[in-house]
Amino acid sequence: MIKAENIIKTYNGGAVEVLKGVSLDIKEGEKIVILGASGSGKSTLLSVLSGLERVDGGKVFYDDKDLSTMTEKELTEFRRNTVGFIFQQYYLLPHLNVENNVKMGADLIGNKDFREIIKAVGLENKLKNKPAELSGGEQQRVCIARALAKNPKILFLDEPTGALDEKTGREVLDYIIKSQGERGFTMVMVTHNLNIAETADTVIKMNSGVITEVYHNASPKTAFEIGW
Amino acid sequence: MIISLKDGLKLFGIIIVAFCAVFVCTFFLNFYMDAVEIKDTVTEAQQPLYDAQLATARFTSAISGGFLGLIAIVMVVFYIKLYVDGHMRQLGILKAMGWSNQKIAFRFWVFGLSIFIGTALGFGAGHIAMPFIYEGLTIDTLDIDIHFHAILLIMLVFVPTIIYSLFACGYAYFALRRPVNDMLKGRVEKKLKRRKEKPAKDSKERSFLVETCFKTLGSKKLLAFFVAFACFCFSAMVQMGASMKQLSTETMGLMILVIGIVLAVTTMFMAVTSLVKNNVKTVSMMKVFGYSMKECALSVFGGYVPFAFLGFVVGTGYQYGLLSLMVNIVYKDVAAVPDYNFNVPVFFITLACFIVLYTAVMAVYAFKLNKVSVKEVMLEN
Ligand SMILES: Nc1ncnc2c1ncn2[C@@H]1O[C@H](COP(=O)(O)OP(=O)(O)O)[C@@H](O)[C@H]1O
Ligand SMILES: [Mg+2]
């Protein structure tokens, strides 16, 4: 589904090389976890795989379409129709309530059933609350609803449980994995928590901008079976 | 020290508004004071024009001084709010270290420096422009010589500087009165009003874009005021300047025109820049989700369009009212002044320029918004 060939990403006019030739192949419906220490280039990898940023070398393919030759408009179109994103810091819009935050995703595809999704994440009685009135776990659940409301084919998650305590972290992770099972989208999750890697089909280990190891889990665990 | 002199010096909005206000007031008040001194030599034939000129000087000074002075106060509030919100954490640390509110607030006097620079430059420029103005206001054979009045220097430069510095300290003291803990955590929002949102009566639901339009507007009401003011200045002063060519001298008209454009551009620039700054996160999230540049720009700027046009309309009415008042009341006994009617061609030309300029400014800033890098926002934390 997504294929990266020897991608290179630099910043500050080439002075800092963050991705130093990364190649990977992500299959449809797969659960991928990218594991690596802070600063190893995980977030950068997500941003080039999702079409947020362009690579400086190498190629990224989505179903045989080359992202690096797409125009800005085509990239926007690609993100709109294909990609969903969940971040560690939530990035909800502070002046909009839960319902309207989720609408941000839903409106893109004319989804009128987004309240069902809010209900599914257990926030049906917080529809009118602002993000600042919610706990961290609740905010992250709004983010999940917001991302799922646009029905993405690939969901990118950048340390989705990084700011949560163990209990809420497990709940959120469980909900993410369950939705993936039900909807069958492809999932690429970044984390530095080794335990979380056990929930993945495929684990990609990164260090200093290169992939050091790739392995598969024969039987991925659930969010409540792993350590934390 | 966290509030440096530099912070107080770079408030261009305030500098320019103060400059314009004092520039206009300087030569009109100077003219007034010089003209009053020769009142015994005025002949009966010269009396109506003499009275009218004095009234104009007083009137124009009062209007531009009062009005722009008020705008300057709003701007000081705006800048301090921006500064306090932007430095919430640092200010919180100072408070946590045991600085009192008074001690921190006192440092905000530097915000009065911009007023000093603006008024001092305005005073100087006013004196440079004075010979031309006196020429324009001349009354037949009456010779009015230019004298320097120290009292004007004090009243137009030093007194405003002191008043605005005190005001800045006072307002900062008020703005700093919130719990240290909230400040350290960077919680900028005011106490969330637990007001229930009105249940939408109409079954038609607002889309996300319309909702963000409204909420952006609602969260920055002061900016709507500045947008309206910028458009008001443009509309009123460009039209007035154009009509002035027939009513008074070309220099006078040109001066009003230039002041209007400068005020409008500065205020607009200030408003839109801070609007963009405030919405960087919203826009980058919208981009992540696949909203286009047009949709992002609409959600940020869309809500302000009605205020822009409101400002334009009010400005048009204002200049018409003001010129009618001058011609029909102040100068009614003066034979040489032509009739004044609403200038329709000028109105349409100004409107066309306004629409073109407004669209251009929005396009430039939409482009700027588009340059927002999502990665930079992600790196922030
Ligand atoms: N936009 C950028 N400009 C400059 N340097 C960057 C930028 N983005 C990332 N970096 C640098 O690249 C390295 C990897 O960053 P990142 O991908 O965020 O790592 P991770 O997510 O694994 O912690 C870091 O050293 C970071 O400072
Ligand atoms: Mg990261």
pLDDT tens digits along B51-92 = 888 888 888 888 888 888 888 888 888 888 888 877 888 888
- Contact flag B289-A105 (C-beta cutoff 8 Å): yes
The structure's pTM equals 0.82
* Residue B338: how many other CB atoms lie within 10 Å: 9
Minimal C-alpha gap between B277 and chain A (Å): 15
* A62 pLDDT higher than 90: yes
**Distance between CA B6 and CA B8 in Å, rounded?**
5
Instruction: Determine the distance separating the centroid of ligand 1 and the alpha carbon of B285, expressed in angstroms.
Output: 18
CA nearest to B123, candidates B54, B27, B59: B27
Q: Where are the domains of chain B?
A: 1-188, 205-376
Summarize the confidence of residues A36-51 as an average pLDDT.
Answer: 93
**Distance between CA A84 and CA A156 in Å, rounded?**
6
Query: Which residue, by CA, sits nearest to atom 20 of ligand 1?
Result: A39
Angle between helix B221-247 and B47-86 (nearest 10): 160
- Contact flag A88-B218 (C-beta cutoff 8 Å): no
Dig out the tokens for A52 from the structure: 């947020």
Summarize the confidence of residues B44-56 as an average pLDDT.
Answer: 82
* Choice between B56 and B350, residue whose per-residue pLDDT is larger: B350
State pLDDT tens for residues A139-173. Answer: 999 999 999 999 999 999 999 999 899 999 999 99
Q: Where are the domains of chain A?
A: 28-53+83-216
SS (H, E, C) chain A: CEEEEEEEEEECCCCEEEEEEEEEEECCCCEEEEEECCCCCHHHHHHHHCCCCCCCEEEEEECCEEHHHCCHHHHHHHHHHHEEEEECCCCCCCCCCHHHHHHHHHHHHCCCCHHHHHHHCCCHHHCCCCHHHCCHHHHHHHHHHHHHCCCCCEEEEECCCCCCCHHHHHHHHHHHHHHHHHHCCEEEEEECCHHHHHHCCEEEEEECCEEEEEEECCCCCCCCCCCC
The DSSP annotation for B38-94 comes to TGGG--TTTHHHHHHHHHHHHHHHHHHHHHHHHHHHHHHHHHHHHHHHHTHHHHHHH
* B190 pLDDT higher than 60: no
The model's confidence at residue B335, banded by pLDDT at 50, 70 and 90, is: low
- The residue assigned the tokens 């408009």 is A73
Instruction: Determine the distance separating the centroid of ligand 1 and the alpha carbon of B11, expressed in angstroms.
Output: 34
CB B289 within 8 A of CB A104: yes
- The residue assigned the tokens 């919180």 is B92
- List of chain B residues whose C-beta atoms are within 8 Å of the C-beta of residue A107: 207-209
| Choice from A44, A50, A53, A87 to test ligand 1 binding pocket (greatest atom count within 8 A of CB) | A44
- Contact flag B289-A108 (C-beta cutoff 8 Å): yes
* B323 pLDDT higher than 80: yes
Q: Is B339 helix (H, G, I), strand (E, B) or coil?
A: coil
Average pLDDT, chain B: 84
| Count of all residues that appear for chain A in the document | 228
- Contact flag A76-B287 (C-beta cutoff 8 Å): yes
Task: Check if B375 has its Cβ closer than 6 Å to any atom of ligand 1.
Answer: yes
Query: Which residue, by CA, sits nearest to atom 3 of ligand 1?
Result: A11
Q: Is A71 in the B-facing interface, judged by CB distances under 8 Å?
A: no
Q: Which residue of A has its CA nearest to B194?
A: A129
Which stretch of DSSP H or E encloses residue B262? helix B250-278
CB B190 within 8 A of CB A89: no
DSSP state of B360: H
* A46 pLDDT higher than 60: yes
Q: Which residue of A has its CA nearest to B198?
A: A128
Instruction: Determine the distance separating the centroid of ligand 1 and the alpha carbon of A62, expressed in angstroms.
Output: 24
Q: Which residue of B has its CA nearest to A81?
A: B290
Q: Which residue of B has its CA nearest to A39?
A: B379
**A28-53+83-216 CATH choice from 1.10.287.3510, 3.90.1150.10, 3.40.50.300, 3.30.420.40:** 3.40.50.300
Task: Check if A209 has its Cβ closer than 6 Å to any atom of ligand 1.
Answer: no
